Amino acid sequence: MYARLSSILFPIAAILFVGAVLWGYQEHQDKNTILIKAENQYQRAFHDLNHHMNRLQDELGQTLAVSSTSQGMQRKGLVNVWRLTSQAQNEINQLPLAMLPFNKAEAFLSRISNFAYSTSVRDLAKQPLTASETNMLKSLYAKSSDINQQLGKIQDAVISNRLRWMDVEAAMASEHNPHDNTIIDGFRTVDKKIGEYPETDWGPSALSSPRIQSTDGLSGKDMSPAEIRARAASFLSHRAAATGPLMLSEAGGQTRFKTYTVNAESGDGARIQMSYTRKGGQLLWYMNTRQVKSRKLNFDTARNKASNFLVRNGYRDMTPVTYDEYDHVAVFAFAGTKNGVRMYPDKVTVRVALDNGEVVGLQASQHVFSNNLLTPGKPKVSKEQASRGLNPDFRVSDYSLAVVENEMHRPVLCHEFIGKIHGSSYRIYMNADTGIEETIERIPDATKVLYRT
C-alpha cells in the first residue's frame, strides 16, 4: 500500500519541486532584469549630469567671452545656461539621492536657472548686463569649474571601480553604516563645497525665485485672540449668524506667516471658517459651506450683491473683471483701481449664493499683501503705439491701463488688450515703457470677462 501511495505522490512531489525551482528561477531572472534596468537608468542619468554640467561651464565661459555689445550672443548663451541647468536638475531628480543632503547643490542650480531665464527674456539692448551681473557670471564660471572637478572624480571612481548605483540605495537604506559608499561620500563633498562658497550677489533677478509670504510687512499691532474673536463676531453678525461659540486656533507660530483660524456653525448647520492675520487682524478668507440648491438671482443682481458687500466691508475702488458660476454660486473676481488703472496684484474674489444673494465666500489674501504697490505713473508708450505690436488677427474687444506683476514679482504698468484670436480669448499685456509684450494670459472658455461700462 505504501509503495503504491509513494508511486503516486513521488511524481507529484517531483513536479511540484521542479515547478518551484522554475518559478524561483523565473522570479530571480525578473528581479535581475528590473535591477539591471534601474542600474542602467541611474548610470545614464549620472553620466548625462556630468555631460550637462561640463556644457554649462562652457556656455558660461562663452557668454563671458563675447563682446558686451553682442546682446544676441549673450541672450543665446544665457538661454543655453537656463536649458542646461534645467536638464541637470532633472537628472539629479532621477538619481537615488532623496535621502542624501544635496539641497545646497540643487538650490545653487535653481538660482542659476532663475537668473539665466529672467536675464535672457529681458531686452538686453535697453537693459544690458550690469557690472555686478558680469562679475557674478565670472564667479559662477569659476564655481562650475570647481564642481565639475569634484563630479569628475566621482565619475572616474564609478568607471574604474565599476561602482553600482543600486549599492547607493542599499547604503542609504542601511541603518548601520549609511556613509560607507564612494558615490555618497563624493556627492556629500560636492554639496559641502557649494555650501562653503561665499554668498553670491544675484542682483534683482534673485526676486524671480519663489516669494516667501510673510505678515511682517503688514501695518498694525499683533492682535490678541479676544480681539480676533470680536472681529469675527462683528463680521458674521451681518450675515449667517453663528449658532454656537466661535472656536479660534493659532497657526504659523514658528513662521513668518502668523494667523488665526476661526471656526463656527451657521443656523442651517453649515460650517463657517475664517482666517485672520495676527498682525493687523486683517481677514484673509471667509467660507460658508452651506449647500446652494437653486438659482433665483440673475447676473446683475449677483454682481450688485458682491459689489455692495465689498463696499460695506471696506474694500474700496474695486472693479469686477471676471465671472464664473459653479453649483448655483456666482464667483466674481475684483481688481483694485487707482487713477483709472486696474491693479491686478490687488485682487479679491467674492462668492455669491444665487438662491438668496448671500455672500458665502471671500478670498482677500492678494489684497492684504498688496499694500506696497506703487502709484502706476504715466505710460511712455501710447495705446496706439503699443497696439502696433499685436498680431494683426487679434480682435480687441476691451482695453485698459493695468498693473501686473512680472516674473521678478515687480509691478509693471502695461496696456491691457482683451480680445480673440483663433477662437480663443486672451489678455495681452504690452509694457507701457517699452511697447513689447510683458505677458499673455489665455482666458478659459467658461470664464466671462466683465468689460468696462
Render each residue's pLDDT in the chain as its tens digit; 453 residues.
555 656 666 566 666 666 666 666 565 555 666 667 767 777 788 788 888 888 888 888 888 887 777 778 888 888 888 888 888 888 877 777 654 556 667 777 877 887 888 788 777 777 788 888 888 888 888 888 888 888 888 788 777 777 776 666 665 555 455 445 666 667 777 666 666 555 554 444 443 444 445 666 677 788 898 998 998 888 887 655 555 678 888 876 656 678 888 888 876 778 888 899 888 888 999 988 888 888 999 999 999 999 999 999 888 889 999 888 888 999 999 999 988 899 998 999 999 999 989 999 999 988 888 866 667 778 999 999 999 999 989 999 999 999 998 766 778 899 999 999 888 889 999 999 988 888 888 888 767 777 664
The answer to whether the CB of 247 falls within 8 A of the CB of 263 is yes
Cell readout for 48 is: 548625462
What pLDDT was estimated at residue 239?
A: 58
User: What 3-state DSSP class applies to 410?
Assistant: coil
The strand pairing partners of 363, in sequence order, are: 285, 349
Give the closest residue to 250 by CA, choosing from 231, 280, 272, 228.
228
Distance of CA 34 to the CA centre of its chain: 34
What pLDDT was estimated at residue 202?
A: 46
User: What 3-state DSSP class applies to 413?
Assistant: strand
What pLDDT was estimated at residue 218?
A: 78
Distinct helix (H) and strand (E) counts, the chain: 10, 13
Alpha carbon distance 224, 430 (integer Å)? 45
Delineate the domains of the chain, giving CATH numbers in brackets: 9-208 (no CATH), 217-290 (3.30.505), 305-368 (no CATH), 383-449 (3.10.450)
Question: Is the overall model pTM greater than 0.75, yes or no?
Answer: no
Pairing of strands 341-353, 395-405: parallel
Give the closest residue to 355 by CA, choosing from 262, 237, 240, 243.
240
For residue 418, give the DSSP letter.
E
Alpha carbon distance 365, 363 (integer Å)? 6
